[in-house]
Amino acid sequence: MQKPIGIFDSGFGGVSVLAEALKKLPEEDYIYYGDLLYAPYGTKTREEIQDRSAAVAEVLLVQGCKAIVIACNTATSTAAVYLRGKYTLPIIGMEPALKPAVEGTTGSIVVLATPLTIKESKFKNQIGLWGIGRDVRPVACPGLMELVEREAPAEDVLRYLEELVGPHISADTEALVLGCTHYIYIKPHLERLWPQIKQFDGNVGAVQQLKRRLTEENLAGGGSGHVVYKTSAAAMVDFAAKCERFKERALQLME
């Protein structure tokens, strides 16, 4: 295997970013790391997430990774700057797709994210940068990531969305921004509840940025789409199989 790209998240949500990378950059090899032993990140402190992100980065560096993708909005908002200060290789983070939502709609925008992402200054700065003059409604979604992780029945997810997100939806709502990589997997449920509302996520933008950085650093190519799955939860014997299941679901959602 050539020098791979490391992609990490606290759980399985980042597999949706891996799927996007495999689709757009099939000539690369990948290591996906799920930090399950310390999931979810959304309930941790900033310092704890920084420590875990650095620990995972060290594992990926030992594996020879040429770039790292933080496939988690919460970890990006709390640890991306910290990691870039420690390491010299390209480190790509996630951005809630607020800019394309603003550019692609005229009505109100509902942003779904973890409570910690919404509290971080990075997210508030984005609203200040792109949301001026627009009705942007951040909605903290505690527990939604866990529903995705355990592959909860559709009725449980729909009930959650109706109760938590429904009150923020109005007649003029035109955009739903999915501010967590796990939320890619609830796209069908959101479409079922609110088919008239456009959905925006940051996966495409993150992979485009990865491609740009690899080209700039003369690091692009050399692989064949090979993927290795690793996790901090050593006892989880079916980790790779579950990752493959999430990857296939993400690829289907792209069609």
Which residue numbers are catalytic?
Answer: 72, 180
Cβ proximity of 92 and 69 under 8 Å: yes
| CA geometry: angle 239, 242, 244, nearest 5 deg | 110
Distance, first Cα to last Cα, the chain: 29
Q: How many CB atoms lie within 10 A of CB 31?
A: 22
Cβ proximity of 46 and 23 under 8 Å: no
Tokens 């190519």: give the residue: 221
- Which amino acid appears at position 155 of this protein? E
Q: How many CB atoms lie within 10 A of CB 121?
A: 9
Cβ proximity of 145 and 11 under 8 Å: yes
- Which amino acid appears at position 107 of this protein? G
Listed in sequence order, the DSSP H helices in the chain are 15-24, 46-62, 73-86, 98-104, 115-119, 121-130, 144-149, 154-164, 187-193, 203-216, 239-254
Cβ proximity of 146 and 40 under 8 Å: yes
